[in-house]
Amino acid sequence: MESEAATVVAMRLAATFDAADTDPREELLQRLLTPVAKYWTCKRAPVHAAESLECLGGMGYVEESDMPRVFRQSPLNGVWEGSGNVICLDVLRAMQRSPESVMVFLDEVERAAGTDARLDAATARLRKELDDGDSIESRARGVVEQMALVMQGTLLVQHAPHEVADAFCATRLREGGPGVFGTLPPDPSGFRAIVDRHRPVPSA
């Protein structure tokens, strides 16, 4: 689910690069969504790798598997792309230089308005944060995290199977943040559908 959320944002961001030359709104969305996606993906990669390693137990820890290398390299994107504070300041800079980019971002989110009450509530909280310009630098990480999660939720609600979108909204969009992995509501049928969707299919 975490991987799918990151992927769907990457694909939406890629679309802005395709359209930016002819569509000013896509260019504005590109400028704002790029650092938002960069920040959150870099922050989630190490914890995602750690959880994956843990799931494999001792076999995931020993060097004979690929997981120790993946775990060691997982912080690298954040190192290459700049520290979290720098990336968040880049988001604020984009909002200050092009205030209309915020409206374009929120318009994109509004495409999914009314489809999930939890997404609507998270969007309302985000709007409140963005409307409050006081001390926004000290709140930058929280604001950018909310932007990333709301965008992920928006795209999953529109494009992912119901089970994936429902589980994402239930766990990532609750007030207080996403918390640790595995804190899903009890729904065995939903779990099965999510696992089956991502289960590798052996080639014939």
The H or E element containing residue 47 is helix 24-55
DSSP-assigned letters across all residues of 79-116: HHH--HHHHHHHHHHHHHH-THHHHHHHHHHHTTTTS-
- pLDDT digit string, tens, across residues 48-61: 999 988 888 888 77
- In whole angstroms, give the CA distance from residue 169 to residue 172: 6
User: What confidence category does residue 188 fall into, taking pLDDT thresholds of 50, 70 and 90?
Assistant: low
Tell whether pTM > 0.95: no
Look at residue 204 in the predicted model and tell me its pLDDT. 67
Cβ atoms < 10 Å from Cβ of 177? 11
- In whole angstroms, give the CA distance from residue 191 to residue 187: 6
The H or E element containing residue 33 is helix 24-55
Whether the pLDDT of residue 23 is over 90: the answer is yes
For the range 47-56, what are the long-range contacts, defined as Cβ-Cβ under 8 Å and sequence gap of 24 or more? 47/181, 48/2, 48/3, 48/74, 48/181, 49/74, 50/74, 51/181, 51/182
Q: Which DSSP category does 124 fall into?
A: H
As a residue count, the chain comes to 204
Question: Of all residues in the chain, what percent are helix, strand and coil, respectively (each to 5)?
Answer: 75, 0, 25
Domain edges within the chain: 2-198
- pLDDT digit string, tens, across residues 93-152: 999 999 999 999 999 999 999 999 999 999 999 999 999 888 899 999 999 999 999 999
Burial-class residue 116 by CB neighbours within 10 Å (0-12, 13-18, 19+).
buried
Residue position matching structure tokens 């820890």: 61
